[in-house]
Amino acid sequence: MAKAYDIMYLEDAMSSIGAMMDYAVNSCGEELSSFYGRFISSGIARMIFCANPRYIAGCSGVELAETVARRTGKELPKAEPLIDIGSPEYWAGWTLAYISWFLSMDFEVLHVRGVGIEDIHRRYPTLHEADLSKSVNFARSRIEQYLRSYNPLKTARTTAGMTQKELAEASGISLRSIRAYEQGQLSLRNAESETASTLSRILGCPASHLI
């Protein structure tokens, strides 16, 4: 499997993200999952995944935390930058950086697929002394669980704010068929192309997303 970026940047990314989370939570009093969400929404998580040298190797964890805070409109309080590399928060950020690199999956996608900061943080007691492969295996199992339950038609429909009945009426496709597609009893991949095209037009997404 191709990795997200060259291994030469990995140690810097892991230590910086670990330090960022430890500093934000334990020095500045930020809530763990809230600050991690700000890390993602700030765009910095994506820049690290894309190996932007300014962020992946050019910033300390404290500088990353302050940049995340500034970009998301809430400055951090002034605090002594004492980084505890043994804290659960440091370990969670450090481990997520490795998982993101190893699986070549950015932080936002991992979060959506059930591998967020809280999911890793809760595994600190059992995994922090284990080989990182154990954390990767945990992440893979969560992602597989998510993908088994994921239904693109249902996701697109709920995003569009429509009920199954409303979608059936708007598309001319029977309610029974809509339910069968969402429950995996029928596959849009095997349906007539016009069916997927009609649904995609109503839901405002490419037909390929539904298939």
Q: How far apart are CA 172 and CA 165, in angstroms?
A: 10
Residue 67, pLDDT score: 97
pLDDT in tens, 94-144: 999 999 999 999 999 999 899 999 999 999 999 999 999 999 999 999 999
Residue 210, pLDDT score: 85
Q: How far apart are CA 101 and CA 30, in angstroms?
A: 25
CA distances from 83 to 51, 181, 191 (A): 24, 50, 56
Do 76 and 24 form a contact (C-beta atoms < 8 A)? yes
Residue 146, pLDDT score: 86
Residue 206, pLDDT score: 86
User: Whole-number mean pLDDT of the chain?
Assistant: 93
Mean pLDDT in residue range 188-192: 82
Looking up tokens 């009093």 gives 29
pLDDT higher than 80, residue 151? yes
Mean pLDDT in residue range 66-93: 95
Superfamily of structural domain 152-210: lambda repressor-like DNA-binding domains (1.10.260.40)
pLDDT higher than 90, residue 17? yes
Residue 96, pLDDT score: 98
pLDDT in tens, 36-54: 999 999 999 999 999 999 9
Helices (H), 160-206: 164-171, 175-182, 193-203
Q: What does pTM read for this prediction?
A: 0.77
Q: How far apart are CA 96 and CA 135, in angstroms?
A: 9
Which amino acid is present at 53?
Answer: P
Domain ranges of the chain: 7-149, 152-210
More confident residue, 147 or 11: 11
